[in-house]
Amino acid sequence: MKVILAFEDEELTNREKQMIMLNVLYPEVPEDIKQAQKKAIEFLDAGKESDENRDDEIGPRLFSFAQDANYIFAAFKQTHNVDLESIEYLHWWKFQAFFMDLGSNTTFLNLVNLRRRIKNGTASREEKRVAREMGEIFDIQELDTRTAEEKEKEIEFMALVGDGIAHGK
């Protein structure tokens, strides 16, 4: 979970996120960092080999482990009778299997499904009203997947645009 939460943390750089992943998953970080990262990602993907050529369509973000933690805890307890806050050990792959099998009658899954309908444009007028009323509970920030270089270029561009506006250009 520490790795997932690190990857959700907008204040960490990609390099910091990678280092957290390696330090959490390896007692000693291997010399071959690229291979270690590949194996770490395979572990996080429940043993599925990563295919750099795959073109997985990433849809809109529908949940956040950090933001939705209380709803996830409740859903695990409700569906699997597992208390995530007091369990001593739960293998990551077993966690993922439980997570993928959370009951449809849980608040968490209802929230995720409402987010999905809102984001894909199929929500009813009433569902849109409910989502607006939920405010911060409903709103979920998309992850910024840009590289450090892309972020730096945007900052430079915005500085130029801001300077041009300030000088009436």
**pLDDT tens digit string along 75-112?**
999 999 999 989 999 999 999 999 999 999 999 999 99
Any idea which of 3-7, 68-72, 159-163 has the lowest mean pLDDT?
159-163
8 Å CB contact between 69 and 107 = no
Does residue 54 carry a pLDDT above 60? no
pLDDT at 41: 87
What pTM value is reported for the model?
0.70
The per-residue pLDDT for 53 is: 47
Query: At which residue do the structure tokens 């915005």 appear?
Result: 158
Q: What is the C-alpha end-to-end distance of the chain, expressed in Å? A: 49
Residue in 84, 80, 81, 50 with CA at minimum distance from that of residue 68: 84
Measure the CA dihedral 113/60/130/109, to 10°: 20
Q: Give the pLDDT band of residue 163 (cuts 50, 70, 90).
A: low
Predicted confidence at residue 142, as pLDDT, reads: 67
pLDDT range class, residue 128, cuts 50, 70, 90: very high
